[in-house]
Amino acid sequence: MTEFIPPGTRFLALPSPFPMKRGGMLHGARIAYETWGTLDAKRDNAILILTGLSPDAHAAANEANPEPGWWEGMLGPGKAIDTDRWFVVCVNSLGSCKGSTGPASIDPATGEAYRLDFPELSIEDGADAAFAVVRALGIERVACVIGNSMGGMSALAFLLRRPGIARSHVNISGSARALPFSIAIRSLQREAIRLDPSWDEGRYDDASYPEAGMRMARKLGVITYRSALEWDGRFGRVRLESDRRDDEDPFGLEFEVESYLEAHARRFVRRFDPNCYLYLSRSMDWFDMAEHGGGDAMRGLARIRVEKALAIGVHTDILFPLQQQEQIADGLRAGGADARFLPLPSPQGHDAFLVDIERFGAAVGGFLAEL
């Protein structure tokens, strides 16, 4: 079992025991996080970033780790999330393998990795863990919680469970509840991993590793993270040069798009723990703000109290479709927030927030400038 922790990562020991929403508790668990900028004397310039399924806490370069982070274009001095003004905290999700405690971590009760003995993980557990980090940093109230993708779910849970914890919220390509198409995609990704004989009910190691299953899962992920429109322009029907093809394999890679998927999968496969992937993926399927609104997601959202909110989505997102961000804006507005829905024409689908920095930077930067 391997964890993948960027150098310079900081850690917070969670309260022990740390109770989990669906039962069980963690002992001696920790959360990985990084920070940028300086918390001012009034402690009211904090921004909390909650991430999608796979990122670590290293959203951008900082003093502890000058390597570019996964949101480098958005975060830094003078950028949309301006670290000259804001004290930014990014938390690695509970259940991940990037420094926070998860299924790949050692269970102190046994001295062995948890694997499938890790308790069932909910988005709400991740929100509680993020809250512990905020409090440990001496922050009473964050100026803004920004949540991307799964982090958009985590942010809603965070806001709901800690009334008054945030002045504002930016929800990016998030959702108040998983819908069946997204559940179907994630279920198939999990099935690909579980069908790999090397998964072995979670008992793989580096020598016997569910590489084929992880590769399938990641490829399916990448397909649903981007959009047909973008790929038409980017790859079209371009073939691989003959020196990049295996003519012995009658069904081998032939088109550039296939090679792109293969490269993405290879980069991911050995850098994310399969059991952690299963746990985090399932937590997204389970998440449902309707549980917090007497069976009605809009009512659940309306229970959240923030002053200002912005829900951003893109037309080409098939995994977290645009109407889900519209619902978030509508629900937060019903709860009294000055909430705006911003659909963007980015061609890059669900992943647009990672790459269309021009549009997302303007949207997020504009929102924060008005705070």
Q: Which residue has the tokens 């069980």?
A: 24
Catalytic residues: 149, 317, 350
Binding-site member from 58, 190, 308, 350 for its own copies (CB under 8 A): 190
- The reply on whether position 184 binds its own copies by CB under 8 A is yes
Instruction: Give dist(CA 169, CA 359) in Å, integer.
Output: 18
Instruction: Give dist(CA 364, CA 234) in Å, integer.
Output: 26
The answer to whether 129 and 92 have CB atoms below 8 angstroms apart is no
Binding-site member from 39, 135, 167, 187 for its own copies (CB under 8 A): 187
- The reply on whether position 198 binds its own copies by CB under 8 A is no
Most distant CA pair in the chain, distance? 67
> E-strand spans in 18-137?
18-19, 25-26, 30-36, 46-50, 75-76, 81-82, 87-91, 106-107, 112-113
Instruction: Give dist(CA 131, CA 91) in Å, integer.
Output: 10
DSSP 243: G
Residues 6+ positions from 307 with CB-CB distance below 8 Å: 167, 168, 337, 338
Binding-site member from 136, 318, 355, 371 for its own copies (CB under 8 A): 318
H-only helix segments in 137-210: 150-161, 180-195
- Contact window for its own copies (CB under 8 A) among 5-13, 71-79, 162-170, 180-188: 180-188
Tokens of 213: 């299953």
Q: How far is the CB of 230 from its own copies (least distance, A)?
A: 9
Q: Which of residues 24-63 bind its own copies (CB under 8 A)?
A: none
Q: How far is the CB of 334 from its own copies (least distance, A)?
A: 20
- The reply on whether position 355 binds its own copies by CB under 8 A is no
Binding-site member from 10, 167, 234, 245 for its own copies (CB under 8 A): 234
Binding-site member from 44, 72, 200, 254 for its own copies (CB under 8 A): 254
Q: How far is the CB of 257 from its own copies (least distance, A)?
A: 4
Task: Tell me the site size for its own copies, rule CB under 8 A.
Answer: 46
Q: Which of residues 97-116 bind its own copies (CB under 8 A)?
A: 116
Binding-site member from 23, 66, 111, 180 for its own copies (CB under 8 A): 180
Name the site residues for its own copies (rule: CB under 8 A).
116, 177-185, 187-188, 190-192, 194-195, 197, 212, 216, 219-220, 223, 227-228, 231-232, 234-237, 250-251, 254-258, 261, 278, 282, 285, 288, 290, 318, 321
